[in-house]
Amino acid sequence: MLHLILFLAFGAVCVAGAVNLLAQRHPINSALSLVVVMGSLAVVYLLLGAEFVAAVQVIVYAGAIMVLFVFVIMLLNAGEEERTKGSKVALLFGVPGMLVGSILIGWVLLARGGGRSVPVGALPGTPKVIGWLLFHDFLLPFEVTSILVLIAIMGAVVLASHPDTEQGKKEG
């Protein structure tokens, strides 16, 4: 009962945050709405018993990545955005497409899942289990992903450095 109430409350907060993210005109408000979405998602993970994933969600997404978003918005001092009429294509195909998509997902889950829902705490949630999965069962995908991230970092460094300019030469 308590779980259901918490799930509904934080699910509602999550959706409200997502809608607010789109509705706000100032980038910093949108970024903060995204923080709210991340935070309420963490609570939903917690309700599923995935406590480690919940903590990582808060530390990595809400605490590090979104701080960098806010940092960049502050650094660029981005102002309010102009409200445009929006594209007709998005309105014509986007809204019906989204509706069809969500109905499809709901139908598949209800029909194929046989109405079964995941009981609370059914997912592997403790750090030990997650660590075992990551470094034993899924070691190769995990390491490949790490290398992918490393390549992305190196790409960012290459893009950010200006070897031709005076300052770039000084920094080497």
Partner 1 sequence: MNITTFIIVSVIKTVLALFVLLTAVAYTVWLERKVVGHMQNRWGPTRVGPFGLLQPLADGVKFLFKEDLTPPHVYKPLYIAAPMIAVVFALTSIAVIPVGNWVTLGGLRIPLQITDVNIGLLIILGVTSLGVYGVALAGWSSNSKYSLLGGLRASAQMISYEISLGLSLVGVLILAGSFSLREIVNAQGGTFWGFIPRWNIFYGGQFIAFFIYLMSAYAETNRIPFDLPEAETELVAGYHTEYSAMKFAMFFMAEYANMITVAAVASLLFLGGWHGPVFGPPLVRALLPVFWFVLRIFGFLFVYIWVRGTLPRFRYDQLMAFGWKFLLPLAIANLVITALVVAIRA
Q: Which residues bind partner 1 (CB under 8 A)?
A: 28, 32, 35, 51-52, 55-56, 58-59, 62-64, 67-68, 70-71, 73-75, 77, 126-127
Nearer to partner 1, 5 or 89 (CB): 5
Nearer to partner 1, 100 or 154 (CB): 154
Q: Which helix (H) or strand (E) holds 157?
A: helix 139-160
User: Are the CB atoms for 15 and 38 separated by under 8 Å?
Assistant: no
CB of 115 to partner 1, least distance (A): 30
3-state secondary structure 105-132: HHHHHHHHCCCCCCCCCCCCCCHHHHHH
Rounded to a whole number of angstroms, the CA Rg of the chain reads 21
CA distances from 44 to 10, 76, 94 (A): 7, 33, 27
Nearer to partner 1, 47 or 58 (CB): 58
Residue from 53, 60, 35, 157 nearest 27 by CA: 35
CB of 140 to partner 1, least distance (A): 20
CB of 71 to partner 1, least distance (A): 5
Nearer to partner 1, 77 or 167 (CB): 77
CB of 45 to partner 1, least distance (A): 12
